[in-house]
């Protein structure tokens, strides 16, 4: 059975570069979330999609961060002009119901040099 | 503002011993409370959740947690720990009646001695 798939699992980039992180949720799950987990911290909410639309993007730290989900399935988190402080594990989760159990992927570890 | 505190960063127990992981929360209304486990190379997995009703909640893998409103706590317990329980444990609070915009604690890393 397919769980939440995230690619790449690891990404190393240089400061100032553009990065895309992809999330493929469980088939049929309409709710999709992005969280960010910095070293030694718990996950921090970034954005929530219900279907194709971003219902809550209040956790995005600044306008360098953007996420899309054009067909209501796969989502891409986009980070422009990366900074060293963006280094973290980016977690994607999906759920069948709006307030249903979250199923998390293994995350994409981003390192900005 | 909502917040979650997990006072213990690291805990070490012997296999077969009992376990209690502490979680305190700050939330203005009745909270939705969760415990997740994160093992190396795996995604976060839900152990149990509390929405309402019975304050003692049973979860997977033999875990339970008790909601104590007067103490703003939701401590996780297991009567007998197995070596496979070694992992990081996160407590989280969510807003009721809506989607899962969870606030996580910083986590407690559990080590199990044979």
pLDDT of A70 > 90? The answer is yes
DSSP for B6-62?
Answer: ---SEEEEETTS-EEE--EEE-SSPPEEEEEEE-TTS--EEEEEE-SS-SEEE-GGG
Tell me if B95 sits within 8 A of B112, measured CB to CB. Answer: no
A13-32: pLDDT as tens digits: 999 999 999 999 999 999 99
Query: Are B106 and A41 an interchain contact pair (Cβ–Cβ within 8 Å)?
Result: yes
Mean pLDDT of B83-103: 85
pLDDT at A100 over 80: no
Token pair recorded at residue A24: 């493929």
If contacts are CB pairs under 8 Å, which of residues 17-76 in chain A contact chain B?
A: 31, 33, 35, 40-45, 48, 50, 55-56, 59
Residues of A whose CB is below 8 A from B59? none
pLDDT of residue A1 exceeding 70, the answer is no
Determine the 3-state secondary structure of B102 from DSSP. coil
Using CB atoms, pick whichever of A45, A105, A107 lies closest to residue B101. A45
């Amino acid at each position: 059975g397919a769980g939440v798939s995230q690619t790449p699992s690891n990404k190393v980039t240089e400061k100032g570069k553009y990065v895309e992180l992809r999330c493929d949720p469980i088939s049929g799950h309409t709710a999709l979330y992005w969280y960010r987990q910095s070293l030694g911290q718990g996950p921090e909410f970034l954005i929530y999609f219900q279907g194709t639309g971003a219902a809550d993007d209040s956790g995005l730290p600044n306008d360098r961060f953007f996420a899309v989900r054009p067909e209501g399935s796969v989502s891409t988190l986009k980070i422009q002009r990366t900074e060293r402080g963006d280094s973290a594990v980016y977690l994607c989760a999906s759920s069948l119901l709006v307030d249903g159990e979250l199923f998390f992927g293994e995350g994409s570890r981003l390192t900005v040099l | 503002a909502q917040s979650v505190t997990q006072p213990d960063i690291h805990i070490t127990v012997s296999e077969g011993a009992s376990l209690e992981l502490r979680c305190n929360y700050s939330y203005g209304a009745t909270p939705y409370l969760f415990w997740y486990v994160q093992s190396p190379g795996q995604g976060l997995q839900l152990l149990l959740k509390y929405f309402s009703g019975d304050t003692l909640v049973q979860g997977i893998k033999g875990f339970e947690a008790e909601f104590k409103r007067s103490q703003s706590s939701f401590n996780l317990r297991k009567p007998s720990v197995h070596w496979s329980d070694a992992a990081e444990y996160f407590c989280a609070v969510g807003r009721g009646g809506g989607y899962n915009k969870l606030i996580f604690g910083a986590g407690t890393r559990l080590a199990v001695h044979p």
